Amino acid sequence: MKHIYSSLFALVILFSISVPLRVHSQCLCSGGSPATPITYLDTVLPTQASTTIFTFPQFDPSIGTLSCISFNDTISVVVTTAARNTDTTNGHNYIFQTTITDAVNGPSNSGPMNWLATFGVANQSYGPTYLDTDKIDLHPPQPRLPDDSTTFGPDTLLNHVVGAGTPPSITPFLGTGTVNFSTNLTGGATALLGGVNYVTGIKSNSWGAFRLTYYWCPAILLAENIINFTAAKNGGFVQLQWITENEQTGFTYEIEYSTNSSTYTPVGFLQSSQTPDVNAKYQYQYAINSNAPEKIYFRVKRIGLDGKATYTAIKSVNLNGNAAAGMQVYPNPARGSVIFEFDQIQNGNFCIQLVNTAGQIIQQNAVTILGTNQIRLNLTSNPAHGLYYLYAKDLTHNQQYITKVLVN
């Protein structure tokens, strides 16, 4: 960690923050599966630098395809302001204003201009306060009077201010090296009232956090003819289902399992249908291991007689039995229809509502599902382009799921 010092005294301490990763829930891989996040957090120990340079690892393209990037930070700044009247002829009633700004810059080549990732600014006014005549600058100098100077604060000008940004270009983030960011604190104090003969100075203490998240997709060839691949918890099993369009004989389906979404192990095999040129439906049940982590991942590898392989999108399953089933929708943005996908098998009556940002119900449908985790909603109301809320109300179990969807 390198630090560059300037005349502004600042103390920067970075701490962990909690910003939902769903900020990029629209960042999808082929097949509609969410991109996998990798997050790096940088911390800086106490320093009086006004500019701090910090680094993150680049994304290695050999791992997969970088789809989206998000940057988040939280900054707090506490400022102490000192002021002195330098007028040797008169005392004045002063009103001072202290200003502090924090600018976080991304890589210099991350766009047509330097990328300003986040920016925060705050002001604090003090006074009126009377400062007496300055005696120190007389000739000969007179004894200083304590009434010609004052100190304000310390006051918190930026209090856990959260910033977020997305770079205009992902190119600087690709490679096997590092990518540089910098945070720059600037500020000062000026008199809004009281004259021009004065001096001021500030001392800043600040703390915050920087986090960079890469959203990536596996660098694998996706099977275009496998549709509706789902994985959902059903009792002590994970139930996997998929449909193959225009099925051909001689294919093997290898079910693969992972605990980290990057390293996969075969756990089962199915042979293709003996009847070609049909839409074949496949099911596989995976017995949940008692030592399994809270979230596990699955994909299906389709292998031909020539040994060539294609893959389904990756599906995650939440095994936390105490948590309510989660839900995602895709495609998002949507056009014509949207699919609700729960991470647990559902059985019950649902009321599906599409609601605009003004709270008006644009479309409502009643749906009964048994032994599946998907609901398809055809947007028969032809909603205007824009942001909507999707409600899935489970009338059988008195639960409600809410998410956002962009219609285009």
What residue numbers bound the domain in which 305 lies? 220-323
CATH code for the domain in which residue 404 is found: 2.60.40.3080
One domain for residues 209 and 254: no
Which segments in the chain show pLDDT lower than 50? Answer: 1-25, 111-113
CATH code for the domain in which residue 306 is found: 2.60.40.770
pLDDT digits (tens, 9 = 90+) for 116-155: 899 999 999 999 999 998 877 666 666 666 788 999 999 9
The structural domain count of the chain equals 3
One domain for residues 246 and 353: no
One domain for residues 183 and 141: yes
One domain for residues 183 and 290: no
One domain for residues 17 and 55: yes
pLDDT of 322 reads 52
Strand 198-218 relative to strand 12-14, pairing: parallel
CA angle, 232 then 234 then 235, to 5°: 145
Extract the tokens encoding 358: 């003004």
In whole angstroms, what is the distance from residue 162 CA to residue 238 CA? Answer: 38
CA atoms within a 13 Å half-sphere pointing along the CA-CB vector of 104:
26
pLDDT of 2 reads 36
Where a domain ends, among 323, 356, 374?
323
One domain for residues 14 and 120: yes
One domain for residues 22 and 123: yes
Residue-by-residue DSSP string for 225-272: TEEEEEEEEETTEEEEEEEETT--TT-EEEEEEESSSSS-EEEEEEEP
Extract the tokens encoding 387: 């942001």
One domain for residues 97 and 83: yes
One domain for residues 113 and 232: no
pLDDT of 31 reads 56
Where a domain ends, among 218, 240, 273?
218
CA angle, 216 then 374 then 295, to 5°: 45
Where a domain ends, among 323, 341, 374?
323
pLDDT of 376 reads 86
One domain for residues 127 and 20: yes
One domain for residues 150 and 100: yes
One domain for residues 367 and 283: no
Letter string b/e over residues 50-73, b meaning 16 or more CB atoms within 10 A of that residue's CB: bbbebebebbeeeebebbbbbbbb
Identify which of 365, 363, 354, 359 has the alpha carbon closest to the alpha carbon of residue 395: 365
In whole angstroms, what is the distance from residue 186 CA to residue 7 CA? Answer: 10
Please state the φ and ψ torsions of residue 23, each to the nearest 5 degrees. Answer: -55, -25
